[in-house]
Structure 1
Amino acid sequence: MMIEHDFFGAIETDESGGLYWSESVEVGDQNVDVSLSAPGGENLSPDALDTAAGVISSLEGLDIRAREAMLSDVDDRNSDVTQFIEQTLEEVGDDLVDMLVDHSGDNDVDIIRSLQLIRVGIAPHQAGESAPFASFEFAFDPDNSDLALVVYLSIRGESVGIELLS
């Protein structure tokens, strides 16, 4: 079975009725893997796919919001953002300066600005105010490190969590 949508076109469904769509989307000067998925049996609101399409159309602005959420966690020494920065500094060592895209003198800020958005996942069935509607996965050196930070945004584009992946 398949669902048709103006933005996504034909969205495949699996045997349980789950939806899945994926594509590479240009965000700024890089390609980002974007996927949409919803498990079978979940009721999607009529506007959920339209909202998901809006997320994809607004990736650059939402990327900025996700980075702002990371910056707000920098002062919390126990946060996943701080742990990510500390582990990144250990991994790259003296090569850090050459890898930064901006040099403000504040390593924490410069690392967050230098992160690459590598993947965005959209869960249109997660439409609650504090539910993770979209996940933005960032990496500093994705070719040489498994470290990543995932920022979860609500349907309103507000941060509802940040997770360190290693």
Structure 2
Amino acid sequence: MTIEHDYFGLLGSDDEGEIYWSDTAELGDQSVDIDVTSPDEASVAAESLDIAAGMINAIEELDSQVRESLVADLSADGSMTSQYIEQTLDDMDPGAVDDAIIWDSGDRQIDFLRSIQLQRITFMPHNNGVDERFALMEYSISPDDTDYVLMVTIDVHGDTLAVAMES
């Protein structure tokens, strides 16, 4: 079976009922990988696909909203955002850090967050509840210079649910 959607077209499924779609979207002067995946085709509502399509079409606003939540996360003691920044700065060559941080406001953490690049968004349209993982956004300061990425989980409203660091 397949699901047909105005934005995504035909979302193919395999014998197990899983669906997958992949493309890229433009964010400023960079390309962002976009994936839509669900383990169960029957649990994907058309409204969830509409929300995902809307987020892709408004990727700049979504990215800004997530970055604002990361800035807010900096104020929490031991925040994952702060740990990601510290770990990445320790891991990277200082010259690569200087090349990657394209802002210079005097606040190193804010400049770092303004300089990270959105690499991928994975939508999970079967999770359409307010407190469920609807999308996972993957950020990196310099994908060629560090293996550390900042993973931000958002709900159907684009609100940040969790921030994690992976390598």
Cα drift, residue 142 of structure 1: 0.5
Question: Which residue of structure 2 lines up, in the alignment, with residue 130 of structure 1?
Answer: 131
Cα distance in 2 for partners of 1:56, 1:50 equals: 10
Question: Helix, strand or coil for the counterpart of 1:69?
Answer: helix
Cα distance in 2 for partners of 1:98, 1:142 equals: 12
Aligned alpha-carbon RMSD (Å): 1.4
| Runs of at least 4 residues off by over 4 Å | none
- Number of residues paired by the alignment? 166
Cα drift, residue 94 of structure 1: 3.0
Question: Helix, strand or coil for the counterpart of 2:46?
Answer: coil
Question: Which residue of structure 2 lines up, in the alignment, with residue 106 of structure 1?
Answer: 107
Cα drift, residue 93 of structure 1: 4.9
Cα distance in 2 for partners of 1:42, 1:107 equals: 46
Normalised by the length of structure 2, the TM-score is: 0.93
Q: Percent identity?
A: 37
Aligned: 1:146 with 2:143: no
Cα distance in 2 for partners of 1:12, 1:145 equals: 34
Cα drift, residue 46 of structure 1: 3.2
Gaps of 5+ in 1: none
Cα distance in 2 for partners of 1:37, 1:94 equals: 37
Question: Which residue of structure 2 lines up, in the alignment, with residue 19 of structure 1?
Answer: 19
Normalised by the length of structure 1, the TM-score is: 0.94
Cα drift, residue 2 of structure 1: 2.2
The one-letter code of the counterpart of 1:5 is H
Question: Helix, strand or coil for the counterpart of 1:97?
Answer: helix
Gaps of 5+ in 2: none
Cα distance in 1 for partners of 2:56, 2:79 equals: 28
Cα drift, residue 98 of structure 1: 3.3
